[in-house]
């Protein structure tokens, strides 16, 4: 598995076939309880994180492993449009893995504080991104086509109270692949909306930008939504050895892309900025691989990757420049790894997912240049999204990982979705099935 493929598996893949040397141990014990979003260590105390104790290792036994329910759902993304109202997307995954079938996309609607799954499903096309620009308008997308629909990548538009398919030729072209090939694939896709007539869509593919250059990295598709249509714009101009991984926008007219140059001598992170109708590649670069990017505002952004040792190395944008941010010194000895999930829960307070090498999930807060631990009751799952609504509640989605199989043989990690809610000082969650 390549370094960027390994990072991608942490970022959203719902099932992996993995060997014992690549699999992270799983903590499958759910903790329940009460947590305060602002809870942290005492003022002035060292930011030592309390890591839940993982259960002692036991002999792997297939007979006692989790049996995947027929309707198992993994969740990928969430959008909140009002207090007690929102949407979540994911996929039915029970049959994934060796010899299994493709995922089936599903949509959940949060209405009056209750989650309901819509009856419509999308066979072969798990939904991985959603963005709502109002309670009555939004978009969702898959990296795949619905089974039986050929090369038409699944993109959905919510309007008039219904989700309707919209064809995006630039994405279809990726699935069709270059002439003489058996087709291409979209590795990752994202959508952001900034009102009913402004948005961004980004797709990272497996198609080389230059089919005749063995060093060429993958093509990306960048689309802007204006005047009621998605229009493809050129990607930033970079060297053939540079992989452009992800886009994050702060408005309909300003966005960033992070990439990594896999040149012959070193691995180098770089950023491209879209403003005033054009891309510019920033002159400041950083060593290592950086793949995921979240812009909170024009003056607050985070990017994540790995250094030469494979550890997370966050970069922060303060409105003027990108710079590394040191995590607490004792994280290395505690074997804590920062995941690329960013939750701007309140002005000046940003949360992050952290995972221990024992598999326990924690939440870290970064505010005023300081890291603090936030009480988190669910050691078996890290949220992939947490979003505040205007009432002060938090809504989120995540997954519990279950291993099927026993090392050293191939094993499959299957995710079981959870819906999260923080209300009046208490967390609650619904574990799907």
pLDDT tens-digit readout, 122-167: 999 999 999 999 999 999 999 999 999 999 999 999 999 999 999 9
Nearest-angstrom CA–CA distance, 356 and 35: 20
Provide the 3-class DSSP secondary structure of residue 314.
coil
Contacts 24+ apart (CB under 8 A), 38-47: 38/349, 38/365, 38/374, 39/373, 39/374, 39/375, 40/365, 40/372, 40/373, 40/374, 41/372, 41/373, 46/328, 46/330, 47/328, 47/330, 47/370, 47/371, 47/372, 47/373
In this prediction, what percent of the chain has a pLDDT beyond 70? 85
In this prediction, what percent of the chain has a pLDDT beyond 90? 69
Q: Scanning the structure block, which residue is given the tokens 């924690």?
A: 362
Nearest-angstrom CA–CA distance, 53 and 263: 42
Report domain extents, the chain.
Answer: 39-53+72-92+102-379
pLDDT tens-digit readout, 321-345: 999 999 998 898 888 999 999 999 9
CATH code for the domain defined by 39-53+72-92+102-379: 2.120.10.70
Q: Using 50, 70 and 90 to split pLDDT, how confident is the model at 62?
A: confident
Nearest-angstrom CA–CA distance, 378 and 428: 10
pLDDT tens-digit readout, 228-276: 999 999 999 999 999 999 999 999 999 999 999 998 888 999 999 999 9
C-alpha angle 199-285-1 in degrees, rounded to nearest 5: 80
CB contact at 8 A, 248 and 297: no
pLDDT tens-digit readout, 264-321: 888 999 999 999 999 999 999 999 999 999 999 999 999 998 655 556 579 999 999 9
> What is the pTM assigned to this prediction?
0.88
pLDDT tens-digit readout, 191-207: 999 999 999 999 999 99
pLDDT at 395 over 50: yes
Extract the tokens encoding 253.
Answer: 């007219």
């Amino acid at each position: 598995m390549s370094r960027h493929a390994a990072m991608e598996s942490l970022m959203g893949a719902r099932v992996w076939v993995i060997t014992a040397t690549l699999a992270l141990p799983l903590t499958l014990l759910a903790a329940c309880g009460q947590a305060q979003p602002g809870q942290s260590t005492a003022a002035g105390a060292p930011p030592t994180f309390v890591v839940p104790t993982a259960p002692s290792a036991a002999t792997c036994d297939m007979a006692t492993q989790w049996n995947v329910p027929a309707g198992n759902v993994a969740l990928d993304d969430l959008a909140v449009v009002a207090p007690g109202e929102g949407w979540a997307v994911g996929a039915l995954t029970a049959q994934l893995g060796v010899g299994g079938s493709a995922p089936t996309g599903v949509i959940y609607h949060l209405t009056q504080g209750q989650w309901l799954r819509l009856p419509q499903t999308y066979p072969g096309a798990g939904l991985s991104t959603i963005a709502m620009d109002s309670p009555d308008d939004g978009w969702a997308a898959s990296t795949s086509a619905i089974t039986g629909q050929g090369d038409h990548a699944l993109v959905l538009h919510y309007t008039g109270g219904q989700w309707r398919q919209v064809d995006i030729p630039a994405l279809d072209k990726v699935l069709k692949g270059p002439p003489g090939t058996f087709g291409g694939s979209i590795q990752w896709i994202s959508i952001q909306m900034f009102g009913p007539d402004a948005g961004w869509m980004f797709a990272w593919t497996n198609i080389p930008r230059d089919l005749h250059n063995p060093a060429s990295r993958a093509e990306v598709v960048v689309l802007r939504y204006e005047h009621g249509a998605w229009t493809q714009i050129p990607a930033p101009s970079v060297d053939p050895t540079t992989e452009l991984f992800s886009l994050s926008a702060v408005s309909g007219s300003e966005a960033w892309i992070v990439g990594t140059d896999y040149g012959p001598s070193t691995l180098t992170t770089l950023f491209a900025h879209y403003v005033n109708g054009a891309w510019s590649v920033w002159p400041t670069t950083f060593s290592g691989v950086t793949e995921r990017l979240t812009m909170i505002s024009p003056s607050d952004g985070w990017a994540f990757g790995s250094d030469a040792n494979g550890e997370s190395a966050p970069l922060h944008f303060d409105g003027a420049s990108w710079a590394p941010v040191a995590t607490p010194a004792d994280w290395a000895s505690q074997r804590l790894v920062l995941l690329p999930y960013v939750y701007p829960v309140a002005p000046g307070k940003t949360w992050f997912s952290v995972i221990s090498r024992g598999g326990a999930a924690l939440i870290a807060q970064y505010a005023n240049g300081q890291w603090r631990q936030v009480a988190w009751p669910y050691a078996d799952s890290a949220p992939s999204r947490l979003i505040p609504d205007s009432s002060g509640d938090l809504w989120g989605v995540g997954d519990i990982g279950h291993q099927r199989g026993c090392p050293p043989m191939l094993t499959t990690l299957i995710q079981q979705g959870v819906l999260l809610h923080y209300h009046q000082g208490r967390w609650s969650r619904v574990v799907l099935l």
